Chain A
């Protein structure tokens, strides 16, 4: 993952350079002004825009949520087939998994937001002189906040973005601070799929759950980070590790529930199952780093608070 991130950083840097070359004017220094109208040209996240974008295409469900939350919704003309929130987002058949430069450019965007540089899409769009903001999967809450601020700056809503970061940060701090003190931290297993794929503390969601004072049983399975923070766990190990809490992020995708978990061989001996501490999460919220991350933290802290200290 470290290498992947570095590659990504290199790509980002390259994109920044090519984007810089593509624009005829020298990029202005980044602005922190709340006066949106006077801010352009603006540079954020390696992208420089000469004027406020009016035709944004978002190929990232997270970015779509962020854009609408910071008031840039009216500027969004098309979102990908998985951007299902908010309900009034202009969903199209564009795919973030198989981004296609031609179909994207057919929407004549003046800003494209994407979470993965698949199919060399960033280079293709850059060639077409379409600015691309790459909002790669956040690795921490602060990383997510940085993206929100950058999206705010690019779309001309820096104040709203700052406000959103403030509200979400405060809300999460409040939820975490409200948790009871414990002598020994609770342990948890975070399930991404019934094949026992999990997320370690190095991931965005792992870091978030770590803030709630929880210990992740998956951490030893990817100690060197070779699995990118998403190891596939062994069943025996999980039953023996006996986490206090089980969080299911595979409810909608894979039909998992407290009942299906309890029915797995050997799992009925686990504390989390016996004490009904198996928590069904919303798959979508749990896999995005947008404003609804508060709902995820609330689901987690509610479950933690119910476990007697």
Chain B
């Protein structure tokens, strides 16, 4: 299955580069491409060139657009990686942070922090706690059927947990109408407000999660054949599972706490990668990060420019692309299962 892998690596890197350059070159404020390139080169040590941009335009480029593109890269890579990891851990091609209730759990906890006027620095920690609680609940409910639980049971449990948590969130929003706009905006997803501080906040989580998950890529491949076989090969399937779920949930929670709920990246991207580059997690995990990053950077470019100078919530864009894709995957998956 790995025969065409170098090609996909190249394509992935190229996609990230193209999306990144496009994200920097275009925006609601028109900046000359040459000037943009000049200012980016000025970031290198020792380079000092005149770009002809005003101080305000430089601020737009370096303090608003560049961090936003980087944030898109990090969030996209994180959500796609987490989705791929969940799919491996639960041996379920439909698992993603949204269907498993992880995002809803993180969402409820983060909304509670906003609604109860808690310190915003608490957001990632609260989101992580909510994410873990949600996935724990999903797992327990999905496993209630016994040892040989079906993939459908887990997903259905996730849907139930997500619905329950979203109801809690709706109730919270209704009780705290003053915070409605803030929570609502966050629910729809946004890569807008914090600039570099959001990037600095998220980066360690993404790097940490990526390291942990990528180190377990072999375990994920083995888990696909079954727990007994994995144990037979000298692995601790439950321990690997726990580590992977914790890492993916922490990463998702951190991403969600800065970007809001951005749906479907975690399911579209790993699937595309699986269809294109084969079923080995050694390829799926890193390629998902690349394509996830590229996808979200492009989605954000659309979010920024489609209705400029107004914003379209990025969650709307990813869901608009994701929902039809999801149906397609469901159809092909059923064909395989039959």
Contact pick for A233, options B64, B182, B196, B309, CB 8 Å: B309
Stretch of B54-62, B81-89, B136-144 lying at the A interface: B54-62
Secondary structure at chain A's binding surface: helix, strand, loop or mixed?
Answer: mixed
Instruction: Tell me if B271 counts as interface (CB < 8 A to partner A).
Output: no
Residue in contact with B310 in the complex, picked from A98, A234, A236, A254, CB distance below 8 Å: A234
Q: A222-B310, A265-B195 are in contact. Are A237 and B190 (CB under 8 A)?
A: no
The closest CB in chain A to the CB of B192 belongs to: A235
The answer to whether B182 and A236 touch across the interface, beta carbons within 8 angstroms, is no
Stretch with Cβ within 8 A of B (4 or more), from A122-130, A174-182, A191-199: A191-199
B side interface size, CB within 8 A: 34
A111-132 CB contact bits vs B (8 Å, 1 = yes)?
0000000000000000000000
Is A193 a contact partner of B182 (Cβ separation < 8 A)?
yes
A175-223, CB < 8 A from B:
192-197, 220-222
Tell me if A264 counts as interface (CB < 8 A to partner B). yes
Complex contacts, B63 vs chain A, CB 8 Å = 265-266
Contacts of B179 in A (CB 8 A): 253-254
Residues 219-255 of chain A, each 1 if its beta carbon lies under 8 Å from chain B, else 0: 0111000010001111111111110000000000110
> Is A195 within 8 A of B195, CB to CB?
no
Contact of A135 with B by CB under 8 A: no
Give chain A's interface residues, CB within 8 Å of chain B: 82, 97-98, 192-197, 220-222, 227, 231-242, 253-254, 264-266, 268-270
> Would you give the shortest CB distance from B198 to chain A, in whole angstroms?
9
From B174, B186, B196, B311, give the contact of A234 (CB < 8 A). Answer: B311
In the assembly, what is the distance between CA of A104 and CA of B15, in Å?
A: 59
Within 8 A of A (CB), among B62-93: 63-65, 67
Beyond A195-B192, A234-B192, A238-B309, 19 additional contacts (C-beta under 8 Å) are A195-B181, A195-B193, A196-B192, A196-B311, A231-B311, A233-B310, A235-B64, A235-B192, A236-B29, A237-B29, A237-B308, A239-B29, A239-B59, A239-B64, A254-B182, A264-B193, A264-B195, A265-B64, A265-B197
| A193 contacts B304, C-beta separation under 8 Å | no
Option from A195, A254, A266 in Cβ contact (under 8 Å) with B60: A266
Q: Indicate whether A232 sits within 8 Å of B182 (C-beta atoms), given known contacts A97-B177, A239-B56, A269-B55.
A: no
Contact of B59 among A196, A231, A237, A269 (CB under 8 A): A269
Q: Name the interface residues of B177-212: CB closer than 8 Å to any CB of A.
A: 177-179, 181-182, 185-186, 190, 192-197
A221 surroundings in chain B (CB, below 8 A): 307-310
From A241, which residue of chain B is reached at the shortest CB distance? B309
Least distance between B11 CB and chain A CB atoms (Å) = 30
Query: Does B151 have its Cβ within 8 Å of any Cβ on chain A?
Result: no
Instruction: Kindly state the separation between the CA atoms of A195 and B191 in the bound complex, as whole angstroms.
Output: 10
Q: Is B270 an interface residue (CB 8 A)?
A: no
Query: Within the complex, what minimum Cβ distance (angstroms) separates B52 from chain A?
Result: 15
A220 to B307, CA, bound (A): 10
Among candidates B28, B67, B182, B193, residue contacting A237 with C-beta atoms closer than 8 Å: B28
Q: Which listed residue, B60, B64, B65, B185, touches A193 by the CB 8 Å rule?
A: B185
Residues in B lying within 8 Å of A, measured CB to CB: 27-29, 55-57, 59-60, 63-65, 67, 174, 177-179, 181-182, 185-186, 190, 192-197, 304, 307-311, 313
Of the residues B60, B181, B311, B313, contact of A240 by C-beta under 8 Å: B60
Which residue from B174, B186, B304 sits with its C-beta under 8 Å from A97?
B174
Return chain A residues, CB-CB under 8 Å to B196.
Answer: 265
Contacts of B311 in A (CB 8 A): 196, 231-234
Residues of chain B within 8 A (CB-CB) of A265 are 59, 63-64, 67, 194-197
Given contacts A98-B174, A195-B193, A221-B310, contact A236 B60 (CB under 8 A): yes
- Are A192 and B67 within 8 A (Cβ)? no
Q: B181–A266 contact, CB under 8 A? A: no
Report the nearest A residue to B114, measured CB to CB.
Answer: A254
Q: How far is the CB of B169 from chain A (nearest CB, A)?
A: 16
Q: How far, in whole Å, are A140 and B63 apart by their CA atoms in the complex?
A: 38
Taken together as a complex, chains A and B put the C-alpha atoms of A253 and B114 apart, in Å, by 11
Set of chain B residues within 8 Å of A238, measured between Cβ atoms: 309
Please tell me which one of the listed residues B194, B195, B310 contacts residue A227 in the complex, with CB atoms under 8 A apart.
B310
Q: List 15 A-B contacts (CB under 8 A).
A: A197-B181, A197-B185, A221-B308, A221-B309, A231-B311, A232-B310, A234-B192, A234-B304, A239-B60, A240-B56, A264-B195, A265-B67, A265-B197, A266-B56, A266-B60
Contacts of A196 in B (CB 8 A): 192-193, 311
Q: Is the CB of B27 within 8 A of A192?
A: no
A120 to B88, CA, bound (A): 48
User: Chain A residues near B177 (CB, 8 Å)?
Assistant: 82, 97
Report chain B residues within 8 Å CB of A239. Answer: 29, 56, 59-60, 64
Report chain A residues within 8 Å CB of B308: 221, 234, 237
Chain B residue with minimal CB distance to A237? Answer: B309
Contact residues in A for B28 (Cβ distance below 8 Å)? 234, 236-237, 240
> In the docked arrangement, what's the CA distance between A235 and B179, Å?
20
Please state if A236 and B65 are interface contacts (CB–CB under 8 Å): yes
Distance of A266 Cα from B192 Cα, bound (Å): 12
Q: Is the CB of B181 within 8 A of A192?
A: yes
Measured between alpha carbons, how far is A269 from B28 in the docked complex, in Å? 18
